[in-house]
């Protein structure tokens, strides 16, 4: 392996000068610079980041914690994160936690061991204690999910307002019996969306019926199917349903048509997230769209600021209702 010493010797200069050339410092004569650059070419020298990292005590690696790599909700966020990070000379380590504390710990340890500089956490099931603990000495940003009253900066949308908007849309087009497929209430976003659901109903004088509200353990097609099955078996069958995730809504769509019913005539359906699939279903899904890509870029921007020691403020972004064929 050819190192900086070797280049210096070959070019007849000191390692300091090679380093200066490498970093575009103007304190080098054109002539010296040329000589060094030629030598670098000739020897095909590539500076090792290992040395650099140790010296500067940084890794330029950022961790992104997500529960499941296959959840399409994260795709565009990750794209945003990646593009911003790369353009600022950071790399992204995508970490699938499976919402398991052990798995999470591996990644937390990576930061403690200086193998990564900071974390963007998108796992709603993250171990809060551990995260807060880590945040004392390390740069951490939460994306999409967050903790009220805690000092970890976050970027998110207004979940309550978004759910309210979705349900209000269902009411406007004539539905009064609206089922709600929510995920586990231990997640803040689930509680907030539940609030939005209830608020919309109450505002229109529609009583909230507990038997219309369902909770799923995970976000996946099959959980949507199961919930839909229960909804369809209800005595006083709802005419519409709102699911907190497109995945759940798509599963429900499948179940509804499997029962020979028609969307939206027999049952209107609204999802959440506007994942790409949601336009491929039959009928195409009405859903809430979040500015994913932007959320990603903002999250890294905040993280990099934090890494520099700057003060960062949390951000709440706008959402949109995308009306398609399912309502």
Partner DNA sequence: CTGAAAGCGCTAACAT
Partner DNA sequence: ATGTTAGCGCTTTCAG
Binding interface with its own copies (CB under 8 A): 1, 46-51, 53-54, 57, 59, 61, 69-70, 72, 75, 78-79, 82, 86, 91-94, 96, 106, 109-110, 112-115, 221, 250-251, 254, 257-258, 276-277, 279-280, 282
For residue 94, the SS3 value is strand
- Which lies closer to DNA via its Cβ, residue 29 or residue 89? 29
Residue 202, CA distances (Å) to 62, 205, 264 in order: 44, 5, 23
Classify residue 136 by burial, with Cβ atoms within 10 Å: 0-12, 13-18, 19+: exposed
Q: Write down the least CB distance from residue 117 to DNA, Å.
A: 14
The dihedrals phi and psi of 205, each to the nearest 5 degrees, come to 65, 25
- Which lies closer to its own copies via its Cβ, residue 4 or residue 163? 4
Contacts of 186 (CB under 8 A, 6+ apart): 125
47 binds DNA (CB under 7 A): yes
151 binds, among DNA, its own copies, none (CB under 5 to 8 A by kind): none
Q: Which of 34, 54, 316, 323 binds DNA (CB under 7 A)?
A: 54
41 binds, among DNA, its own copies, none (CB under 5 to 8 A by kind): none
How many whole angstroms separate alpha carbon 160 and alpha carbon 146? 14
Closest CA to 144 of 116, 124, 130: 124
For residue 151, the SS3 value is coil
- Which lies closer to DNA via its Cβ, residue 54 or residue 69? 54
Q: Which of 41, 44, 57, 235 binds DNA (CB under 7 A)?
A: 57
Binding residues for DNA, per CB under 7 A?
A: 1, 3-5, 12-20, 22-23, 26-29, 31-33, 47-48, 50-52, 54-57
């Amino acid at each position: 392996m050819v190192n900086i010493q070797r280049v210096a010797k070959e070019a007849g200069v000191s390692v300091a000068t090679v380093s200066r050339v490498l970093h575009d410092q103007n304190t080098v004569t054109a002539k010296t610079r040329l000589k060094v650059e030629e030598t670098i070419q000739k020897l095909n020298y590539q500076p090792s980041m290992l040395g650099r990292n140790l010296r500067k005590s940084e890794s330029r690696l950022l961790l992104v914690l997500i529960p499941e790599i296959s959840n399409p909700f994260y795709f565009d966020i990750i794209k945003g994160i990646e593009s911003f990070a790369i353009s600022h000379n950071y790399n992204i380590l995508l970490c699938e936690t499976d919402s398991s504390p052990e798995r999470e710990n591996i990644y937390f340890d990576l930061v403690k061991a200086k193998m990564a500089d900071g974390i963007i956490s998108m796992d709603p099931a993250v171990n809060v204690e551990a995260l807060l603990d880590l945040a004392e000495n390390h740069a951490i940003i939460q994306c999409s999910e967050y903790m009220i009253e805690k000092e970890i900066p976050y970027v998110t949308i207004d979940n309550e307002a978004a759910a309210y908007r979705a349900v209000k849309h269902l009411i406007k087009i004539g539905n009064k019996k609206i089922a709600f497929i929510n995920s586990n209430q231990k997640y803040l976003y689930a509680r907030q969306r539940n609030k939005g659901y209830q608020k919309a109903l109450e505002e229109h004088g529609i009583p909230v019926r507990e038997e219309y509200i369902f909770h799923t353990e995970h976000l996946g097609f099959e959980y949507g199917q199961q919930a839909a099955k229960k909804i369809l078996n209800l005595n006083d069958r709802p005419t519409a349903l709102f699911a907190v995730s497109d995945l759940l809504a798509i599963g429900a769509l499948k179940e509804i048509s499997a029962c020979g019913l028609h969307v939206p005539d027999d049952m209107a359906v609204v999802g959440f997230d506007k994942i790409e699939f949601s336009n491929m279903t039959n009928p195409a899904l009405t859903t809430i769209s979040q500015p994913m890509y932007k959320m990603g870029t903002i999250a890294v921007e905040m993280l990099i600021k934090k890494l520099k020691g700057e003060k960062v403020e949390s951000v709440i972004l706008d959402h949109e209702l995308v009306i398609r064929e399912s309502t």
